[in-house]
Structure 1
Amino acid sequence: MAKQHPKVIAGIDTHADTHHVAVISETGQHLADREFLAVGSGYRKIVEFIIGFGPVVAVGVEGTGSYGAELSRVLSREGIQVLEVMRPNRQGRRLKGKSDPLDAYQAAESALAGRGTATPKARDGAVESLRVLRSERSTAMRARVAVMNQIQSFLVSAPEPLRAKYRGLTRTAQMSALEKTRPAGTISEPLNATATALKRLATRYRALHQEIALIDAELDAIITTHAPLLRDLHGVGTDVASQLLVTVGDNPERICTEAQFAALVGVAPIPASSGKTIRHRLSRGGDRQANKAIHHVVLVRMMSDTRTRTYVARRRAEGKSTKEIMRCLKRYVARELYDQLLHPQPAPDAAALRALRKTKNITLQAAADDLRVWPTALSRLERGLTRDDHFHQRYESWLNDH
C-alpha cells in the first residue's frame, strides 16, 4: 500500500526581488523554508518546493495585491488555494522578532489557524484592467489640477500687459488662448519667460485633458461589455461603477453576503450609544474610495430622485438629522448595488431595434410621434448611447405590433 504524504500548509513573505517560502505540517510543525527569486523561473521552483512535501491545503501569501500578485496568479493556476495573510501586528513582532523566515512561518501559521486571512482578489480579468486605467486616470487628474494651479499662480504675479489679455476669460477659453500664443523676444525678460512657460503649461493641460477623455472612453467600453446594468441604477455613472467593480474584484463570490459588502464599502452601521442616547454610526473601515462612490450616489439621489426626496422629507419629519438620513440611504444603496453586482442581467440588444424598424419601413420620426418621444431620444436608444430597459420593451412591443 502506497504511503500517504501528510498535508502541508505554506507561507510566503514577498518582496520586490525575492520571496521567502516556509512549509509547515497540519499540526504546525516547521518542515523547511527557502528563498527564491521573484521571477518566472522562481515561481515555478516555489510550486515544486511546496508540493514536494505533500498535498497542499493552502498557501498564505503576504501582499497579494503588490509584490505577491503574480505569484498568487501562478499558484491559483496550479489549483492551489491562496489566502491573503495580514502582516503581524507590531506587538507580536516585538515579542518574536522579525526576519524573512519568521514572517514566512507566521504566514503559514496564520493560514493554518484561519487567523487574519482573506480570499485575495483574482487580478486576471476585466476588473484588473479597470484598476490599472483608474490608477492612470487618478495621476492624470492630479497632474491636470497641478498645471491649472500653476497657470493661475503665474498669471497672478505676471506683468500687467500679460494679465490683461486673459482677465475675465473662462478656464476653457483661457487655456485655448494661451496655447495659441507665439511668444517672441529674449527669454531673459520676465514677460517673455512667463509667456513661454504659460504656453507650454497650456499645451500640457490640453494633452492631459485628452488623455483623461481617452481613459474615460476605455473605462466606459469595459463597463458596457462586462457590467452594463450597474449603470442603470440612478446616480451610478462610469466613475462610480468602475470604482465599485475594482473594490469587489474579478471574484465577487468572495463577498458571500450583503452585510459583508456593506462592511467592505464602509456603510455597515455600528452601535455608537452612550447613556440615554441610542444611535448608530457608519463604520470608518472598508474601502474609502468605494465609500466615496456611494456617497456620490446618495448626493445625486437626494437632489434628483423623487423616491429619495420623499424618503428624506419623511425622515426629517421624524426628527432625523441629515447625517443620519444619509447613513440609512448609503445602506439602502449598498443593498441595490450588491444585487446588481452579484446577479447581473444581460443588456438588451438595442441594435436589433433599428434593424427591426427598417425592415418594416417605419421612419424614426413616425415611431417617435406614435410613442410620444423625441426622435433624438429614440435614435440614442437604438444606437446604444442610452439605457432604458422599460422603454426598450415598450418600443420592441410597438414594433412587433406594426
Structure 2
Amino acid sequence: MVVIGIDPHKSSHTAVAVDQTGRRLGQKTVTADPDGLLRLRSWATQFGTGPRWAVEDGRGVAGRLVRTLIGTGATVVWVPPKLMAACRASARTRGKSDPIDALAIARAALREPDLPTAHLDQTALDLRLLSDRREHLVNRRTASINQLRWHLHDLDPALDQTHPRLTGPRAQHTLTTALSTLPASVRRDLALDLLTEITTLTQQITQLEHQLRTRVQPLAPTLLAITGVSTVLAAKIIGETAGITRFRSPAAYAMHTGTAPIPTWTANKPHYRLNRGGNRQLNTCLHRIAITQLTHHPPARTYRDNWTKHHPHATTKAALRALKRHLVNTIYRALTTDLT
C-alpha cells in the first residue's frame, strides 16, 4: 500500500509518497491552483490506481485540495498537526521543511490506520462557514463594546452603570438618545460611532442565527432535543464533525473531540489526565453543554455524583471531563439518528 502525504500551503503543496514500511518513494511540489492539482494527480499515477492520501488538517489552505482529490475518487484522511509533529520528531531526519513535513504526514497515516476519512459534505461545510462568520462578528462586537465602555466611563460613569447590556435594541436606542444630549466632543462622537457599529453587528449576528436556525432545525431534531444544545451549538457540532459516519464508534469520535482520557499510570491504580488534543472547537461545545446540564439537567448531576462516589480521590475537573466523555456517546447517537 502506498501512502502520499501532503503538506499544504496557500501557494504550494508538497507531496511525498511512501510504501507500507515508510520508505520514501518520491516527492513532488506543485502550485496550489487547478494546474498544480492536475500535475499532482498525474504524478501519483506511477504508484498505482489506489494510493491513500494523507493531508495535514489545515482546512483553511487544504479544503480545495481535498475536495479535488475526493472528486476524483481518491481516499483522503486528515492528519492532526500534533500527530505529524510527533512523527517528525521521532524520525532520524533533522530540521524542518515541506518535504520533511510531508514525509512525517505520510508516516503518521501509516502509523494510525484508523484516522477519520474525509468526504464531501456541503451541508456541514455551509454550517461551519456560517458559524465561523457569526463567531467573528461576535468577537468584533465584544471588542467594540469594551471600547465603548471606556468612553462612557469617561463621559459619564452613570451611562456605563445604567446600561449593563449593550446587545439589545432597546438599550442601544436609549444610549444613543442619552449620548446625543451630551455636549459635542470627539469622545462623544467616537462613542456614537461605536454604538452604531455595535447595532450593525448585532443585526448581522441576528440574521446569521436565523439562517443557522432555518438550516439546523429540520436537519438535527434529535441533537437539538439534548439539554444544553442550542441552535448555535448544534450548527457548530455538525459543521466541525463533518459527517458522523467518518467515525466507526463513539470512542473514535471521543478521540476526535479531545475527550478520550489519557492514561498516566503504571503498576498502580489507573489515573488519567486532561486530553489537550483533538478538535478544540468540538471540545468547547461539549464543555458548554456539560456546564449547562449540571445546572438544568438532574440526570447529568446524578451521573457526576455517581462517578465521584466511585472515584473518591478525583477532582471536580476530572468529574466534569467524565461527564463530557459521557456526552460524546449521547451526541454520537443523536447525530447517527438524525441521518436516518
Partner-residue secondary structure (3-state), 1:73: helix
Q: 1:108, 1:318 → 2: CA distance?
A: 42
Q: How far 1:23 sits from its partner (Å)? A: 3.8
> Does residue 293 of structure 1 match 2:274?
no
Contact 2:116 2:247 in 1 (8 A): no
Where does residue 240 of structure 1 map in the other structure?
233
Q: Count the aligned residue pairs.
A: 331
* Greater RCO structure (CA 8 Å; 6+ sep): 2
Of 192, 199, 207 in structure 2, the residue corresponding to residue 206 of structure 1 is 199
Contact 1:263 1:286 in 2 (8 A): yes
Q: How far 1:35 sits from its partner (Å)? A: 2.4
Q: How far 1:24 sits from its partner (Å)? A: 4.6
Q: 1:44, 1:335 → 2: CA distance?
A: 41
Contact 2:121 2:242 in 1 (8 A): no
Instruction: Please list the CA deviations of residues 256-286 of structure 1 after superposition, one character each: whole Å capped at 9, or x if unmatched.
Output: 1122222333333444669987655553433
Q: 2:78, 2:161 → 1: CA distance?
A: 56
Q: Which amino acid aligns with 2:245?
A: E
Contact 2:6 2:55 in 1 (8 A): yes
Q: 2:78, 2:206 → 1: CA distance?
A: 35
Q: Which amino acid aligns with 1:128?
A: L
Where does residue 376 of structure 1 map in the other structure?
none
Of 318, 322, 337 in structure 2, the residue corresponding to residue 343 of structure 1 is 337
Partner-residue secondary structure (3-state), 2:27: strand
Q: Which amino acid aligns with 2:214?
A: A
Q: Which amino acid aligns with 2:207?
A: L
> Does residue 100 of structure 1 match 2:98?
yes
> Does residue 263 of structure 1 match 2:255?
yes
Instruction: Please list the CA deviations of residues 287-311 of structure 1 after superposition, one character each: whole Å capped at 9, or x if unmatched.
Output: 3332332232223222222434555
Within a 5 Å distance, the mapping from 1:308-319 to structure 2 comes to: 308-311=300-303
Contact 2:153 2:159 in 1 (8 A): no
Moved more, 267-276 or 79-88: 267-276
Q: 1:214, 1:141 → 2: CA distance?
A: 12
Of 31, 50, 75 in structure 2, the residue corresponding to residue 56 of structure 1 is 50
Residues 303 and 44 of structure 1, relative CA distance in 2, 3 Å threshold: same
Instruction: Please list the CA deviations of residues 216-250 of structure 1 after superposition, one character each: whole Å capped at 9, or x if unmatched.
Output: 11111221232222101122111221222233213
Q: Which amino acid aligns with 2:297?
A: D
Q: 1:327, 1:21 → 2: CA distance?
A: 38
Partner-residue secondary structure (3-state), 1:35: strand
Structure number, greater radius of gyration: 1
Q: Which amino acid aligns with 2:141?
A: R
Q: Which amino acid aligns with 1:96?
A: R
Contact 2:77 2:118 in 1 (8 A): no
Residues 322 and 53 of structure 1, relative CA distance in 2, 3 Å threshold: closer
Long gaps (5+) in structure 2: none
Q: Which amino acid aligns with 1:329?
A: L
Q: How far 1:340 sits from its partner (Å)? A: 0.8
Q: How far 1:73 sits from its partner (Å)? A: 1.1
Contact 2:8 2:14 in 1 (8 A): yes
Long gaps (5+) in structure 1: 1-6, 347-402
Report sequence identity in percent. 26
Q: Which amino acid aligns with 1:99?
A: S
Of 131, 138, 144 in structure 2, the residue corresponding to residue 147 of structure 1 is 144
Partner-residue secondary structure (3-state), 2:74: coil
RMSD across aligned positions (CA): 3.5
Partner-residue secondary structure (3-state), 2:6: strand
Partner-residue secondary structure (3-state), 1:46: helix
Structure 2 length as normaliser, TM-score? 0.81
Within a 5 Å distance, the mapping from 1:132-211 to structure 2 comes to: 132-158=129-155, 162=156, 168-172=162-166, 173-180=170-177, 191-211=184-204
Residues 278 and 46 of structure 1, relative CA distance in 2, 3 Å threshold: closer
Partner-residue secondary structure (3-state), 2:48: coil
Q: How far 1:75 sits from its partner (Å)? A: 1.0
Partner-residue secondary structure (3-state), 2:173: helix
Residues 145 and 294 of structure 1, relative CA distance in 2, 3 Å threshold: same
Q: 1:298, 1:142 → 2: CA distance?
A: 23
Of 64, 76, 89 in structure 1, the residue corresponding to residue 70 of structure 2 is 76
Q: 2:133, 2:154 → 1: CA distance?
A: 32
Moved more, 87-96 or 41-50: 87-96
Where does residue 296 of structure 2 map in the other structure?
304
